[in-house]
Structure 1
């Protein structure tokens, strides 16, 4: 449920409270406080992140029993839809940082207003995506090389499922609102509820109603819109409650005060501000997606065995990223709150502690991957050649996990600080470094292991750029807005 921020600004904590940026932060008590905050935010965030890909897994499990062509069509459409939604993940990131700053500044009405602006931006972008996808569905499916038997199923699924894109973008923006309010439990509950509803609706519509792959698409759309409706109800309830608790209306206009519902109206200036803040993060996300697409394209050039092993390795890498991204999400919320409260020392102390968490989690995950390598191959493939290629690639992934841990944490810290332009430029530079190295792998006759060392170089480049920024302190800008 939507609640008031769990931590008040330092000036409201009373004379006996520990200052978050004081020397106490370097003592056990200060470290324990940061640990509690990180765990409270990161654990539910991890659960919500893991629940998201389960939507596609459920659809695949149910549609797979309809036939190979239907499953192939679902695979193409799901790849297109996932790409479309992931590009707009900045709606969650930018909203988290903006809301957390205003929470830290003690201005909850402004935080909620910022969230409403982000939700309106999500609706507008979702409408534009629908307008683009509906008429272009067959062409997009052909672009992905769907076979003649799979293409009609892919087009049908894509057209229907595109109707759920606005809802998913609203979910992203509203998730950012709640994260900024230091609440990651509500997104977890909504994600679990959405997953459960999606599974039930798919089974009923695909088999019970006999709608086939179209039933799977409609079930997902209904579940997505239900999730968006729950989020909107939570945010609206929070605005109304805050208005009642403050003893005043949520919005003031030139002609006096208006009802709390006026805060729900679209504010063009606020929407433009959200778009402006999100644009650098969009560039960062697209650049990162380009890295992953280049890696897959290079792996495909290496041969069928290599692309199969690469896909499995990428799946493991993505699963590990969920755990590390959960810490990054905690970083976004915590850093934004400290900076909004004007507590630069507290932000630095939290950053240091989260880096320690990133390193520790990276080491643990790396050891787990290294030890589990012999089990992963047979789990995903019965081909001995694929299993051999996988052993070497996963070893590289295991070695690189401590680096990934710090990269994810610093990425979250700078997002929480609203340092989007630097993230955009650093990711563009990383892409420029990675691309020629990756394309050189097949040219030099190297294999999949070399490609994953190139991926490690990409992460090291990101680490260097993010570490330099973190050390410089230029990301530290206090106040309710950057």
Structure 2
């Protein structure tokens, strides 16, 4: 069976520190840490704001949820598509680069030949692209020509401006009644930087470099933490000060990533006709539909929980955040699988694509089992860190088995996403999840009405099982880009 041959291929090597293992861990670990850095910084923000008052922290919580949801819908398709396309183009440089060079004027060609000769005579063989000379000319020569990078930056900037306009115009009806509309307005000014940063993170993942985004994110979050008390309490800007500090940190992160990216890649293409705009928009729109479908399932679940009462809603939100936060670690494996598989497919190296898919799926299952054990044991005592309300704690205890037992399923579902994105199977990823969402929404409504709080968690478990099965089916039946598994 194709599924078994892929899943158990090289199973004894799951923890082997061979070239593939080091490549996967070198991408996955920094990628997961970068994802975790921003939520931790948001917790620090919340702690500072909590000193001002309960109304402000409630309003800021709504603002952050609104901002994050809009950002996710806007940028997730762009980041996913960018990672795959950059990995493909980096693995197989197009002949168009040669055409671009031959189309330059004779003076530039002569200069380039002279530089190449000088480089061959004096540079050390195998020098890293990060080890740049002080000469700007040599740096220019080492830059890669990857058209998808230009498209990612363009779309990230445009989407950021659109998000800013959207949130500024909608801030009044959303938060005006809470008296802290200014927080969302100010925070939205950082949207261009946020979306550009995320787009560049997609580029770096495609280049198999997740350390640079990690360092940039940690540096930016550190600045945010330092500036928070200064703007909020020293300058007495209150909640608005927290927003200003966050915006500054986001532009700082974007600046670091842009400067670093400029050392490796040509940011502006010499010829616009080579930009794959149509391919980006086609596949990005498919993933947009996928994100909306997934968001509908989670949002509907929260809405059904809210109808049950404040106690059930509080317990549901605590468990849901833990349930979703644990996926960040699995996303690191998904990034690694996506980038490596995209490069392998571009080079038609099917053996490496199969080996990578097997390895990240095996690691994803092991990670899910460990997370399930950790949450199953730890949440019984750790839940008191979130609340002392006995009613809320009771409902948390009811949800713990679902949160813990679905961890292996969740991890495999997210890793399967990365594997299929790496194969550029975006159409299947979109259509399959839309179908999963339709079925899951029916289960959520039905089970919530008949079984209440437990019914919602049963429905969410069904939703994640269907997501995992959708990813498994494509590879297990050797269809689409995985047809080579039949041979």
Q: Same fold (TM over 0.5)?
A: yes
Match for residue 459 of structure 1 among 453, 459, 464: 464
Q: Deviations over 1:195-218 (max 9, x none)?
A: 101111221111111111111111
Q: How far apart, in 1, do the equivalents of 2:144 and 2:432 lie?
A: 31
* Alpha-carbon distance in 2 for matches of 1:43, 1:59: 25
- 8 Å CA contact 2:168, 2:185 repeated in 1: yes
Structure 1 match to 2:161: 127
Q: Structure 2 CA distance, aligned partners of 1:305 and 1:264?
A: 59
> How big is the shift at 1:348?
1.3
Distance 1:367 1:460 in 2: 19
Contact residue 100 and residue 334 of structure 1 kept, 8 A: yes
Q: In the TM superposition, what whole-angstrom CA distance separates every residue of 1:92-117 from its partner, at most 9, and x where no partner exists?
A: 21111101112222559776331121
Partner of 1:202: 228
What residue number does 2:90 align with?
A: 103
Shift in Å, 1:390: 0.9
Q: Deviations over 1:355-408 (max 9, x none)?
A: 111111111111111111321221211112211211121111211111112111
1:112 and 2:151 equivalent?
no
Match status 1:286 vs 2:292: yes
- Paired residue for 2:477? 472
State the 1:188 CA deviation.
0.6
Aligned to 1:449: 454
C-alpha contact 1:336 1:416 (8 A) present in aligned 2: yes
Change beyond 3 A, Cα 1:37–1:475: farther
Partner of 1:44: 30
* CA deviation vs aligned residue, 1:63-114 (integer Å, no higher than 9, x gap): 1111222212211211110111111222221111101112222559776331
Say whether the 8 Å CA contact 2:11–2:362 is kept in structure 1: no
TM-score normalised according to structure 2 size: 0.83
How far apart, CA to CA, are the structure 2 residues paired with 1:203 and 1:264?
Answer: 46
The count of corresponding residues between Structure 1 and Structure 2 is 428
In structure 2, distance between residues paired with 1:169 and 1:343: 33
Match of 1:162 in 2: 188
Matches of 1:57 and 1:267, distance apart in 2? 45
Q: Partners of 2:26 and 2:251 in 1: how far apart?
A: 28
Question: Are 1:178 and 2:204 matched, yes or no?
Answer: yes
State the 1:417 CA deviation.
1.6
TM-aligned CA distance change 1:71 to 1:205, over 3 Å = same
- TM-superposed deviation, 1:28: 4.6
CA-based RMSD of the aligned residues comes to 2.4
Runs of at least 5 residues in structure 1 that lack an aligned partner in the other structure: 1-20, 143-147, 241-260
Runs of at least 5 residues in structure 2 that lack an aligned partner in the other structure: 1-5, 98-142
Aligned counterparts of 2:174 and 2:286: Cα–Cα separation in 1: 26
Partner residue, 1:80: 66
**Structure 1 residue 312: Cα displacement:** 0.9
**d(CA) in 2 for partners of 1:41, 1:337:** 14
| 2: CA distance, partners of 1:48 / 1:39 | 14
Q: Secondary structure at the match of 2:430?
A: helix
Q: Distance in 1 between matches of 2:15 and 2:45?
A: 45
Query: 8 Å contact 1:103–1:340 — kept in the other structure?
Result: no
Matched, 1:393 2:427: no
Deviation sequence 1:234-285 (CA, Å, 0-9, x none): 1111126xxxxxxxxxxxxxxxxxxxx7538977953443222211111111
Q: Distance in 1 between matches of 2:316 and 2:195?
A: 30
Q: What is the TM-score of this pair, normalised by structure 1?
A: 0.84
Of 293, 298, 301, the match for 1:295: 301
**8 Å contact from structure 1 (residues 344, 476) kept in 2:** no
The answer (yes or no) to whether the contact 2:448–2:455 under 8 Å persists in 1 is no
Give the one of 233, 241, 244 matched to 1:218.
244
